[in-house]
Chain A
Amino acid sequence: SAVISQKPSRDICQRGTSLTIQCQVDSQVTMMFWYRQQPGQSLTLIATANQGSEATYESGFVIDKFPISRPNLTFSTLTVSNMSPEDSSIYLCSAAGANEKLFFGSGTQLSVL
């Protein structure tokens, strides 16, 4: 299993600013994922982050809005750019473990005023 440290755990931001969320895994993992979860809702995949290549974004998410870095096999960041109140959500990073299981960080609760 993998232990994932995600920070910040929560933040309150002003409209128009950007926030970078960091995710550190305690072991090397090939694939990492970033999800968004709105209150009481399902998880929506934002993008897949592989080391050494550009992130792959899902429909409705673009690199300019959600730039992702994956500098090595244990770390990734997601930036939420030019924020608006509609970006208020929980953002979750996850890593692919053995046998198609996912391990998750504890999430970042973002509120945009």
Chain B
Amino acid sequence: SQQGEEDPQALSIQEGENATMNCSYKTSINNLQWYRQNSGRGLVHLILIRSNEREKHSGRLRVTLDTSKKSSSLLITASRAADTASYFCATGNSGAGSYQLTFGKGTKLSVIP
């Protein structure tokens, strides 16, 4: 069954602005990951945050995790046209195999030059 739910479903911003996407989930997790999918392509891993972490940075990406609210956010700062893509959160669930990820429906981000 689907675990992560991204919000918003679609987001359109101007180049240089920040983009924030949210993910909510239902069950206990070991980790939460964010992936990017360019149109017609496979997914690319962006960042992983473990259940005992609250915030993680990677370049222009900042991820937060609130296990009490079962939610995560992905912030992309100073967005670029090349950031246009769909972004998916995926949860690694407690009790499941290490690589058994459950994906959300994604947020489609459009960055306008």
Query: Which B residues are CB-close (under 8 A) to A106?
Result: 40-42
Q: Are A42 and B43 in contact (CB under 8 A)?
A: no
Knowing A101-B48, A107-B40, A107-B41, say if A42 contacts B105 (CB, 8 Å).
yes
Q: A99-B48, A100-B98 are in contact. Are A105 and B88 (CB under 8 A)?
A: no
Nearest Cβ in chain A — how far from B74, in angstroms? 16
Is the CB–CB distance between A102 and B45 below 8 Å? Answer: yes
Q: A109: CB under 8 A from chain B?
A: yes
Which residues does chain A contribute within 8 Å of B45, judged by CB atoms?
97, 101-103
List the B side residues contacting A43 at CB < 8 Å. Answer: 43, 88, 103
Residue among B35, B42, B90 with the highest chain A CB neighbour number at 10 A:
B42
Taken together as a complex, chains A and B put the C-alpha atoms of A40 and B37 apart, in Å, by 11
Decide yes or no: A31 and B99 within 8 Å by CB, A41-B105, A42-B88 being known contacts.
yes
* Contact-size category for B: 20 to 34
B81 CB to nearest chain A CB (Å): 21
What is the bound-complex CA distance between A33 and B97, given in angstroms?
Answer: 12
Known: A33-B99, A42-B103. A104 touches B2 (CB 8 A): no
CB of A4 within 8 A of chain B?
yes
**B42 touching A100, Cβ below 8 Å:** no
Least CB distance from A100 to B in Å reads 5
Expressed in whole angstroms, the minimum distance between the Cβ of B36 and any Cβ of chain A is: 11
A-side interface residues toward B, CB under 8 Å? 4, 6, 31, 33, 40-43, 45, 48, 92, 94, 96-97, 99-107, 109
**What are 8 inter-chain pairs, A to B, with CB distance below 8 A?**
A42-B2, A42-B106, A48-B99, A48-B100, A97-B45, A100-B48, A102-B90, A104-B43
